[in-house]
Structure 1
């Protein structure tokens, strides 16, 4: 219902924070929950975590909330869920991610993050399925994001808005995650524009400039989360080794299948990490 030319975020004269505030009001009305403490975006392979975080209070279709677009990708469920943890905190679970490659503009890519902040969340957990550059990693392995390289040539910040990204993926939160699972490795996420997978040469470029993970999401969302004052925790599920590292051709079906196999383990991990935050 929000994929028409009249989408509110497509109007350059409208402040995206105003649309996020409207969306947060919609969520409060639709879920009956006035305030959320933590928000989680569930990327490919992470969907089952919602079942393990706590008790679901309400589930609403994302397209019923101001500014949200219908997900274009299989593996993204298109709902917003309010979950109450055992210790009484409210978690907003976002199963509706708009990817940069869909061509809707950065405002719509980061709208879910800005909405989460407007709903009260002070921690933003961003998850994705991605390609791994390190040969020691295996398909189905979760890794923490320690930093990112944004190769989209774009930003969610508008005008003379200067935001420090020194500790964007908060060390405090990564330390908490490692207290839950000391075996967690970490690496630098590199966001490409997509939707095509990277060439072997592009993967080698990412490696040379300091990247360990390649994908098509997360970096722009993380910047918007920091602008909104949230702490960010990032997780990548390594669904495959990247082009040229892996010797067989890449496919989206492979990504989905790796996520399906890993889902029980990584979902349990994510639920335990959120409980510890």
Structure 2
């Protein structure tokens, strides 16, 4: 897909379609939220939602991964207007990095100043167990792809500063929200790999030595895009399993889904409280 097909003009067209579908109920969102594998239950907390299948949104492909509903939803959460994506586009599905990050452009075009990402991740930190929640403090891009490669879009920053990709003030607000709803919240470094295979034990040992606390196959291109277009970003990982070699268990996508369901109420309470405060 060409850069123009996932650039600012394409995002504006998608945003215009979404506003038209929502109609007179449209309110400028305080945040855009993306839900990772097994974490889609937050969508059920939306009040008076308008649901739009991804396939209806200009520029969006159909979601193909189990656990991703493939819907864009507009509604209110904690009585505050939000746009929520139940699912995302991964590069391992064959999408370019620009398309994986395109929904962030659309959220920005809809007026959302804050991007809230969530994902399912394997625990590299040895003390992590399935069901832990980790606030992402920083990331490593070992996908070796970047959504900003190519001509610079109007309004984008060519060389965005990544010294604080995850906004420090928003991270503090997320920690406050966790305390308020009594949800344990760890903090660490997320490493993005291309996938779709899970990591080998040798790769996990490498990631541990590099300083990663969790590993997954998403989020990084989205946050890079958010920084380039001026959105503030915050992200939470659901640790769904110990990474390969750190336990005797075999890894599967079903395990990821089950862990997401197990932590759902804590995750949903955390994000709802954060939206109330943002």
**Same-fold call, TM cutoff 0.5:** yes
Question: In the aligned structure 2, how far is the partner of 1:276 from the partner of 1:91?
Answer: 13
Greater CA drift, 122-131 or 173-182: 173-182
| Deviation per residue, 1:63-97 (Å, 9 max, x gap) | 1111111111011001111112444x320001130
Instruction: Please say if 1:57 is aligned against 2:49.
Output: yes
- Alignment RMSD: 1.5
Q: What does 1:1-277 correspond to in 2, within 5 Å?
A: 10-12=1-3, 14=5, 16-32=7-23, 33=26, 35-52=28-45, 54-87=46-79, 89-159=80-150, 161-182=158-179, 183-277=184-278
Q: Secondary structure at the match of 2:40?
A: coil
Q: Unaligned 5+ residue runs, structure 2?
A: 153-157
Return the offset for 1:135: 1.9
Taking the aligned partners of 1:172 and 1:153, their CA distance within structure 2 comes to: 28
1:256 & 1:30 partners in 2: Cα distance? 31
Sort the Cα spacing of 1:135 and 1:13 in 2 relative to 1 into closer, same or farther, 3 A: closer
Please give the alpha-carbon distance, in whole angstroms, between the structure 2 residues aligned to 1:130 and 1:12.
Answer: 29
Structure 1, unmatched stretches of 5+, are 1-9
Q: TM-score, normalised by structure 2?
A: 0.91
Distance 1:223-1:12 versus aligned 2 partners, 3 A rule: closer
The separation in 2 between residues aligned to 1:247 and 1:163, in whole angstroms, is: 41
Determine the C-alpha separation between the residues in 2 that align with 1:246 and 1:38: 37
Give 1:15 shift.
Answer: 6.2
TM-score in terms of structure 1 length: 0.92
Change (3 A) 1:196 1:267: same
Aligned CA distance change for structure 1 residues 258 and 57 (closer, same or farther; 3 Å): closer
Aligned length: 266
Instruction: Tell me by how many angstroms 1:261 deviates.
Output: 1.5
